[in-house]
Structures are given as C-alpha cells and as structure tokens.
Copies of this chain bind each other. A is one copy, B any other.
Amino acid sequence: MSDVFPEDLTPISELGEFGLIEKLTSPFRIRRPATLKAVGDDAAVYRVGNGKVHVVSTDLLMEGIHFDLTYAPLKHVGYKAVIVNLSDIYAMNAMPFGITVSIAMSNRFTLEAMEAFYEGVKVACDEHNVDLLGGDTSSSHTGLCISITALGEADEDKVVYRNGARENNLICVSGDLGGGYAGLNVLEREKRAFLANPDLQPELVGYDYVVGRVLKPEARRPVIEVLEKEGILPTSMIDISDGLTSELYHICNHSRTGATIYEEKLPIDPETWKVAEEFKISASTFALNGGDDYELLFTVKLEDFDKVSRISEIHVIGHITEPSQGVNMVLRSGGVVELEAQGWQHFSSEK
C-alpha cells in the first residue's frame, strides 16, 4: 500500500477554485456534436432536438463551508440548495424543469431533521414548477453534504452565455446587491455573541431583509420572464453568487472585453447600507465582493436602453468597453479604480 499523499506535491490552496477547475478539466474535449457547451459557464448546454437545448448545472454544498447549522434551519438549507442551482439555470436564460438531490449525513441527524430539509426542497420545487427527479442518500462520517443537479430547457437561439458581451453593451443587474453578505455578517456576529454567552437571544430585529437574503435567497425567474415579455435578449448573462466584481470579470474574460461601472449606480438596499455602517465597511464593498446575492448580471444592446429602463427591478450600472481598458469603477468622488476580483476563495490558504 503506497503513501497516497506525499508532502512534496502541489497543495490545492495554491490554485484557487477557478484555477483548479480549469486545471482538472482541461484534458477533456467535447466529443459529442450535440454538446454545445461543457465546463465554463453557469450550466452546460446540449441539443435535444427540435431547436431545443437542455442545460445542466450542479453544486456540492458542505456543512461548515457553505452553510452553518448554528443559524440556518435545515428547511432553509434545503430551500437555498435548490434555489442556488435554479439560479444557474435562469442565468442561461433557460427554464428549469427538474432537479436531483443527494445527501450524505452523519448519525447526529434525525429523520425529522432530514424531513425539514426536504420540506425546503419541496417549497422551492413548488415555486419554480420543477420535478424532483431522483437522488441518493448516504451516511457521512462528519456533517451534512448536499449535492444538487438542476436541469432546464431553452430554445437554442435564446440561450445566453457568458461570452456574448460586446463593446458599448449596457451592463445590468437585477434587484439589489450586498444584502447576502450583510446578512451573513449579522448572523456571524450573533453567533459569536451566542457562543460567548449561550443565554443571549439573537438580535435580528431590523435585519429581516438582509438575513432573509442569506437564509432564503430567491432565484430570479421573474427577471427572465420580464425580459422575454419585453423582447429583450441579453448578449451575456451570469448569476451573482460570488460578488459583482468576480462575475463581471467572468463576463469580460469570456467575452474578451473591458467594462466600466458606476459606483453611484450600484443598487443597494437601505438595510444593507445600515449594516455596512455598523461594520464600518463601505456598502459598495459589500455589493462588489460579497457573495450569496443570486441576482442576475447581464448585458444588453445599447438600443434596448429604453426598454430596460422601464423595468423597475433592473438597473443599468455601466457599459462594456474594449479589452485594453480593463474592468473599472467610476467612484462617487469622480475618480476611477480598477476592480480587483476576489470572489469566494474556498481553497485559499487565508481561509
């Protein structure tokens, strides 16, 4: 029996998540003509006939990394696990139709706990009209592990990838940004207080919106529906799971463009502002680098400006530029800064 993990090899932490995925999947080539997109977008895309494509996306969620059962009830964890995947389907401009749900759990979990988890899964399925198509259950030596795969359908000519942004396209986001990260900060603060003094009750009054953003996020189906209704086909799209900056870089890298956004245009909820002030962090930082918003970031042609301006949940925050200009933000003060991609670094050694 050999030593499986000698010490002189490359630690995963040196790569970061995106570098790791690229490194591991680069030997794979698309072999089937029906496969239009494999690794590298919110979801893979493959033809099913009649001008239709299916899209598939999958996520693996680990207790202690992606969710914390100290403050996230299992019903919410189940709901969110599904929503996060459906968000990827919508980000392809597709409509989800089915999911698979697998769980591995240690023996500290009871039947009632897992029923609560599946209740949350069911609420998400009901809201988004998707079928639970299957799954797997297993035991785990430590904690809860959740794997969800979501499937969706779209017309082939209406699928929106990350790579279609063009110079002078308008950059749009749905809803508001930074709320998920604000909520996480509040919950982490209350957890620290609780651990220090278990008799304390959490102080969550006045934080309903931001706590809701992190515990019960929504996938933006209404945005996809209103774009369809208004006859707007985005040129590129991605969902905001890792923070605006990181997602904007994905669009610019895939589309080979630059981008300029305006700090004053960032849509930020008043409650997010309040939390940012309490934590003495700029609200823009929450919006740019916080994760867990699940809003949509997309680009549209300049001539769609009037149409998107009439849609209340969509905000134009900037425009696409030529690649040499980089990815920048015009500050409220009038200065310009280059944005630094951060995102969640699950594998970074700092964490």
Contacts and interface: CB of A to CB of B under 8 A. Distances in A.
Interface of A: 1-2, 4-5, 9-15, 17, 20-21, 23-25, 27-28, 30-32, 34-35, 38-39, 43-44, 46, 48-50, 52, 54, 56-66, 69-71, 73-74, 97-98, 100, 102-105, 107-115, 118-119, 122, 125, 129-143, 145, 147, 149, 151, 190-191, 194, 202, 346-347, 351
Contacts of A346: 138-139
A110 B9 contact: yes
A60 B103 contact: yes
Given A20-B114, A60-B102, A140-B145, 19 more contacts: A1-B70, A9-B113, A11-B110, A12-B110, A12-B111, A24-B114, A25-B132, A32-B129, A34-B97, A38-B131, A39-B133, A43-B134, A44-B98, A50-B50, A57-B134, A60-B136, A60-B147, A104-B145, A139-B346
Contacts of A62: 104, 138-141, 145
A166 B337 CA distance: 72
Contacts of A57: 134
Contacts of A112: 9-10
B107 A12 contact: yes
Contacts of A38: 131-134
Q: Which of A12, A64, A108 has the most CB of B within 10 A?
A: A12
A139 B71 CA distance: 21
A304 to B, nearest CB: 29
A40 B231 CA distance: 41
Task: List the number of copies, as a whole number.
Answer: 2
14 contacts: A1-B70, A12-B105, A12-B114, A20-B111, A27-B118, A28-B132, A31-B125, A31-B131, A48-B52, A48-B54, A56-B134, A65-B141, A66-B138, A149-B149
A108 B5 contact: yes
Given A97-B34, A143-B141, A52 B49 contact: yes
A100 B58 CA distance: 7
A142 B145 contact: no
Q: Which of A25, A109, A346 has the most CB of B within 10 A?
A: A25
Nearest to A57: B134
Contacts of A5: 108-110, 113
A206 to B, nearest CB: 18
B151 A56 contact: yes
Nearest to A66: B138
Contacts of A100: 44, 56, 58, 149
Contacts of A25: 118, 132, 135
A115 to B, nearest CB: 7
A142 B141 CA distance: 8
A104 B347 CA distance: 10
Nearest to A105: B12
A119 to B, nearest CB: 8
A20 to B, nearest CB: 6
B202 A1 contact: yes
